[in-house]
Amino acid sequence: MDINHTLIIGGGTAGWLSAAILATELRSTQPDGVKITLIESPDIPILGVGEGTWPNLRATLKKIGVSESDFIQQCDATFKQGAEFVNWRKNTTNEPHRYFHPLNTVNHSSYNFSLAPYWLQQDEETRLPYDLAVSTQPRLCNQGLGPKPITMAQYNGAQEYAYHLDASKFAMFLKKHCIDKLGINFISANVTSIALDSDEFIDHVTTDHDELKTVHADFFIDCSGAKGIIIKQTYNIGWNNINDVIFNDTALAVQVPYLNENTKVKTHTLATAQDAGWIWDIGLRHRRGVGHVYSSKYISDEAAKAQLIAYIGEDYSDDLMIRKIKLNHGYHTKFWHKNSVAIGMSAGFIEPLEASAIFLFDAAANMIASQFPRRRDALSYCEESFNKHFTVRMERSIEFIKLHYCISDRTDTPYWRDNCDPVSIPKRLQQRLTFWKNQPPTKYDFDNAWEPFNLDSYLYVLYGMNYNTDLTQVKAKYNKYEQAQQLFGHVDEASKLLLNKLPEQTALIDKVNTYGFNRI
């Protein structure tokens, strides 16, 4: 049986991004391509949080054929060069502890030459913090500079970058592109039931649409969010609960306009730790998106709200709407089942600490497109391979998020103390942390090709948090001091050069909005 028609259930970022990727890769506009229909409820608003992305989105946007200027203009996007973590360690001075997890691996990658062991051997009193020592980007972020000059072609960067964006506008933008350019058939209706055939494959769905009462397809993608119309309601696939690892179960989100239009827009995400959670702060051009992610076991909603308002400071006013969102951490025991696959919140949810949500949608859609089964007998291979891959990606993402909490030396509240309790730390992460006590992580710790967080990311967080790796006994194997000095020196020189050359983020965004980039 051939697979010629795919039905995506649910719009939102996951639905429209998947539609765009599949339609491009599977050439929906061509007679022999795969036809794609997306059905979206006119009644369910898009959740519209998840405003941070990863650099891979650039390649995807380019591939689906949108111009970067249009994207930035229509989605209120700004450039993101990393995240800064504030207060994730004990406060020992008047200034809170802060470190960057930058996106850059442009200058050098720790896969080729890891500077970490050489940094670890420097004098703790006088050395630069790890992020400043090995990457140019923290300095640029501190100055609010953009990753590229306006003269650079679209999607190219002098520094690695991703975006901050307005998630609702992004979904709308993708929707328009999908319908106008990529040949996607759009139905505005609610799915009322899913009909299975005798082998329990999905045969068709029924809707409340006036004319299209039933929609047949060969393959189905569940992008219906936490509802999980296919994965949960139809197939009742099991759920891995991770509330014992990641404690946060609630978010309070608010959009905060700048009081002053000339406010410098930050070129990185701020993540500031609180008593029982953390606050995200994402700068778009005309407003910030701010939210408090916390555990209701450790703090009341009122107290969490008070902390959020205190954080926002003078930009806060009582007429701003604070939305409360329940978070259900975990992921399904499988994502692909028979002729269906779940992408987005229907597949699983991990808090936005490292902005992995949109990345994971993108990765999922690309993998499905690349391996797309055009016949029913090819489904089982894809099912097995996809489920294996995405289980790894979810597990590893959770471990990486947990890392931020469990190596903290904060002991001021039960929330932080419990986060460091070994019973809450996945076993694999515990083993790795033990191993890294005597040597820094190496590329051999990252042997999966689809590892969502790579060696560089681990090094930034571990040594940003001053994780104590004692090298005394294995020092001898790090004897390339000259090369290390050169690389440290190069970071320093390149930083100076870039600080001179790169424009301020706000000015750059204004220029893009007025003139746009070179379209190459």
Partner 1 sequence: MTKNETKQVVIVGGGTAGWLTAASLAKRFNSVEKKNIQITLVESPDIPTIGVGEGTWPTMRKTLASLGISETDFMRQCHVSLKQATKFVNWKETPKPGIDNHYYHLFTSFHDANDFNMAPYWQRGEIGQTATFAQSVSVQGALCDKYLAPKSMTNKEYEGVQNYAYHLDAGEFAKLLKDHAINNLGVKHVSANVTEVKLDVDGYILAVETDTASHISGDLFVDCTGFRCLLLGEALKVPFNSVDDTLLTDYAVVMQVPYKDETQDIASCTISTAQEAGWIWDIGLANRRGTGYVYSSKHSSHERAEQILREYVGEQSAGLKARFIPMNIGYREKFWHKNCVAIGLSAAFIEPLEASAIFLMEAANNMLMELFPRDRAAMAMVETKYNDSLMFRWNKTIDFIKMHYLLSRRSEPFWLDNRTQTTLPVSLTNLLARWEYHPVSGYDFDNVYEPFPLESYQYILYGMGFEQDLSFNAGQYGNITHAQQSFKKIQSIADQVQHKLPTNRQLLEKIQQFGFQKL
Q: Which is nearer to partner 1, 449 or 520 (CB)?
A: 449
Q: Which of 241, 317, 411, 448 binds partner 1 (CB under 8 A)?
A: 448
| 446 lies in the binding site for partner 1 (CB under 8 A) | yes
Calpha distance 241→245 (Å, rounded) = 9
| 412 lies in the binding site for partner 1 (CB under 8 A) | no
Which residues between 21 and 40 bind partner 1 (CB under 8 A)?
25-27, 30-34
Q: Which of 374, 395, 409, 413 binds partner 1 (CB under 8 A)?
A: 374
Residue 436, CB half-sphere, CA atoms under 13 Å: how many? 25
Q: Which is nearer to partner 1, 100 or 219 (CB)?
A: 219
| 129 lies in the binding site for partner 1 (CB under 8 A) | no
| 96 lies in the binding site for partner 1 (CB under 8 A) | no
| 385 lies in the binding site for partner 1 (CB under 8 A) | yes
Which residues between 166 and 185 bind partner 1 (CB under 8 A)?
none
| 422 lies in the binding site for partner 1 (CB under 8 A) | no
Residue pair 271/353 in contact (Cβ under 8 Å)? The answer is yes
| 209 lies in the binding site for partner 1 (CB under 8 A) | no
- Nearest CA-CA partner of 54 in 291, 288, 331, 360: 360
Count of residues in contact with partner 1, rule CB under 8 A = 40
Q: Which is nearer to partner 1, 95 or 377 (CB)?
A: 377
Q: Which residues of 265-283 are buried (b: 16+ CB within 10 A; e: fewer)?
A: bbbbbbbbbbbbbbbbbbb
- Nearest CA-CA partner of 326 in 295, 302, 299, 354: 295
Residue 4, CB half-sphere, CA atoms under 13 Å: how many? 6
Calpha distance 490→496 (Å, rounded) = 10
| 388 lies in the binding site for partner 1 (CB under 8 A) | yes
State the residue for tokens 């930050």: 266
Q: Which of 198, 477, 500, 520 binds partner 1 (CB under 8 A)?
A: 477
Binding piece for partner 1, criterion CB under 8 A, among 64-72, 245-253, 339-347, 384-392 = 384-392
Residue pair 490/128 in contact (Cβ under 8 Å)? The answer is no
Q: Which is nearer to partner 1, 104 or 366 (CB)?
A: 366
Least separation in angstroms between residue 442's CB and partner 1 is 5
| 450 lies in the binding site for partner 1 (CB under 8 A) | yes
Calpha distance 364→382 (Å, rounded) = 12
Q: Which of 378, 468, 486, 490 binds partner 1 (CB under 8 A)?
A: 378
Per DSSP, what are the bridge partners of residue 287?
Answer: 257
State the residue for tokens 């978010």: 251
Q: Which of 324, 443, 501, 519 binds partner 1 (CB under 8 A)?
A: 443
Q: Which is nearer to partner 1, 23 or 401 (CB)?
A: 23
Q: Which is nearer to partner 1, 3 or 128 (CB)?
A: 3
Q: Strands 340-342, 287-294: parallel, antiparallel or unpaired by DSSP?
A: unpaired
Per DSSP, what are the bridge partners of residue 85?
Answer: 99, 271
Which residues lie closer than 8 Å to 319 by C-beta, 6 or more apart?
none
| 434 lies in the binding site for partner 1 (CB under 8 A) | yes
Helix ranges restricted to H, 11-93:
12-25, 56-64, 68-74
Residue pair 244/250 in contact (Cβ under 8 Å)? The answer is no
Q: What is the CA radius of gyration of the chain?
A: 23
| 476 lies in the binding site for partner 1 (CB under 8 A) | yes
Binding piece for partner 1, criterion CB under 8 A, among 92-100, 138-146, 301-309, 442-450 = 442-450
Q: Which residues bind partner 1 (CB under 8 A)?
A: 2, 25-27, 30-34, 367, 370-372, 374-375, 378, 381, 385, 388-389, 392, 431, 434-435, 438-439, 442-450, 473-474, 476-477, 479
